[in-house]
């Protein structure tokens, strides 16, 4: 157990599932399971699940990384406890903290989406950094994450749902879990592995934190089919990496063309870009694109109304989007040259 766990959960007994003996000479009739083994193919796939180079004690699979986020907040944020994170970012953090009646300590990113210094001294029970961040797509360099892990007083969660789309290797905080007992790194199979509907996420952390999370999660939080799919996906990393390279290429073209059209596009290391026209409400452009059958993300909240978050599609989809923006803008401003 980690020293960060909420007091009531430290004291909590937790649901006790049927005993799982380690030796084979027990006749195990206590959990209503099947006495026959699963397909050998499943077992082969499971063996590959060590793909991230960590021990099983340092990983927990969840029903999407959203479930892991929810488990983490339930573990470490009680009523009135502080949870800190830079904004704008993934808005699920707000919801999860509100459910716990925690205190949100949100601090604006600097204009270039680097970490605000105030984040380092929040004395929070839990700190989130989404890296690469959504909706900006920007990436905080690893030394900054390491400095944050060293500075925070509670648990630091680095949400790496989009990290596979980063251009460079060595940007993930995953190797740092060996050095920091308060660090959790989250990965999702919903983005780079194209498995959103199957709901698979992974949490990596020191054994103490994984033990805390296991105490709070549903006993049987993952279904076999999703596990089998995740294992198969890990056995074919080349497939994922090939798609990532295609998306990186499309992202480059999309960024370049949007910049030519006068948007400020933040340097994205994710599978989406944030395109901004400072001070101009892009709600009209969002609606016009929707009418043409192209859906992008518009956040109707102060500070983001001059931006669109656009997922990187296939080259054909990117071309269609760019054409649609061009024609829409001509229609909206017929007088312009």
Ligand X SMILES: Cc1ncc(COP(=O)(O)O)c(C=O)c1O
Residue 54's Cβ-count burial label (10 Å; 0-12, 13-18, 19+) is middle
Binding status of residue 137 toward ligand X by CB under 6 A: no
Rank residues 271 and 328 by Cβ distance to ligand X and give the closer one.
Answer: 271
Q: Given the rule CB under 6 A, which of 80-88, 188-196, 220-228, 308-316 is the region that contacts ligand X?
A: 188-196
Q: DSSP letters of 143-195? A: HHHHHHHHH-SSEEEEE-TTGGG-SSSS--SGGGGGT-TTEEEEEESSSTTS-
Closest among 271, 274, 269, 246 to 259, alpha carbons compared: 274
Rank residues 198 and 265 by Cβ distance to ligand X and give the closer one.
Answer: 198
Helix (H) or strand (E) holding 275: strand 272-276
Binding status of residue 190 toward ligand X by CB under 6 A: yes
Residue from the set 122, 188, 269, 271 that interacts with ligand X by CB under 6 A: 188
Does a cis peptide bond (omega within 30 degrees of 0) precede residue 135?
yes
Q: Report the b/e string of 122-158 with b at 16+ CB within 10 A.
A: bebbbbbbbbbbbbbbbbbebebbeebbeebebbbbb
Rank residues 135 and 328 by Cβ distance to ligand X and give the closer one.
Answer: 135
Q: Given the rule CB under 6 A, which of 49-57, 61-69, 114-122, 283-291 is the region that contacts ligand X?
A: 61-69
Residue from the set 159, 173, 230, 266 that interacts with ligand X by CB under 6 A: 159
Residue from the set 4, 45, 66, 128 that interacts with ligand X by CB under 6 A: 66
Rank residues 163 and 177 by Cβ distance to ligand X and give the closer one.
Answer: 163
Nearest residue to the partner ligand X, using Cβ: 64
Binding status of residue 65 toward ligand X by CB under 6 A: yes
Q: Report the b/e string of 37-46 with b at 16+ CB within 10 A.
A: eeeeeeeebe
Q: What angle do CA 19, 8, 209 make, to 5 degrees?
A: 60
Rank residues 197 and 334 by Cβ distance to ligand X and give the closer one.
Answer: 197
| Beta-bridge partner residues of 275 | 265, 308
As given in the structure block, the two tokens for residue 111 are 């204009």
Shortest distance, position 215 Cβ to ligand X, whole Å: 21
Task: State the residue for tokens 């459910």.
Answer: 99
Shortest distance, position 136 Cβ to ligand X, whole Å: 11
Residue from the set 73, 148, 157, 161 that interacts with ligand X by CB under 6 A: 161
Rank residues 182 and 192 by Cβ distance to ligand X and give the closer one.
Answer: 192
Rank residues 5 and 161 by Cβ distance to ligand X and give the closer one.
Answer: 161
Q: In this structure, are strands 183-188 and 155-159 parallel, antiparallel, or unpaired?
A: parallel
Site residues for ligand X, 198-237, by CB under 6 A, read 201
Query: How many residues bind to ligand X according to rule CB under 6 A?
Result: 12
Binding status of residue 130 toward ligand X by CB under 6 A: yes
The residues binding ligand X (CB under 6 A) are 64-66, 90, 130, 134, 159, 161, 188, 190, 196, 201
């Amino acid at each position: 157990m980690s020293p960060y766990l909420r007091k009531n959960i430290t004291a909590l007994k937790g649901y006790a599932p049927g005993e799982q003996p380690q030796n084979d000479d027990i006749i195990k009739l206590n959990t209503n399971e099947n006495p026959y083994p699963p397909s050998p193919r499943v077992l082969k796939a499971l063996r590959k699940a060590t793909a991230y180079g960590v021990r099983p004690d340092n990983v927990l699979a969840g029903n999407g990384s959203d479930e892991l986020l929810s488990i983490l907040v339930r573990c470490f944020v009680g009523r009135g406890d502080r949870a800190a994170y830079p904004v704008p970012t993934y808005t699920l953090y707000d919801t999860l903290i509100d459910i716990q009646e925690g205190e949100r300590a949100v601090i604006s990113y600097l204009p270039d989406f680097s970490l605000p210094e105030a984040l380092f001294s929040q004395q929070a029970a839990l700190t989130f950094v989404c890296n690469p961040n959504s909706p900006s797509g920007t990436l905080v360099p690893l030394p900054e994450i390491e400095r944050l892990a060293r500075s925070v007083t509670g648990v630091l969660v680095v949400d790496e749902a989009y990290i596979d789309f980063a251009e460079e290797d060595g940007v993930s905080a995953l190797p740092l879990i060996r050095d920091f007992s308060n660090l959790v790194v989250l990965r999702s199979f919903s983005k780079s592995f194209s498995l959103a509907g199957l709901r698979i996420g992974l949490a990596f952390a020191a054994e103490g934190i994984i033990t805390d999370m296991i105490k709070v999660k549903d006993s049987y939080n993952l279904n076999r089919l999703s596990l089998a799919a995740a294992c198969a996906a890990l056995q074919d990393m080349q497939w994922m990496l090939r798609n990532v390279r295609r998306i990186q290429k499309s992202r480059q073209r999309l960024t370049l063309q949007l910049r030519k059209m006068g948007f400020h596009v933040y340097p994205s290391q994710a599978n989406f870009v944030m395109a901004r026209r400072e001070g101009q409400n892009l709600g009209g452009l969002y609606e016009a694109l929707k009418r043409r059958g192209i859906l992008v993300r518009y956040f109707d909240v102060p500070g983001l109304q001059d931006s669109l978050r656009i997922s990187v599609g296939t080259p054909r989809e990117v071309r269609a989007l760019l054409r649609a923006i061009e024609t829409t803008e001509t229609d909206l401003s017929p007088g312009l040259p």
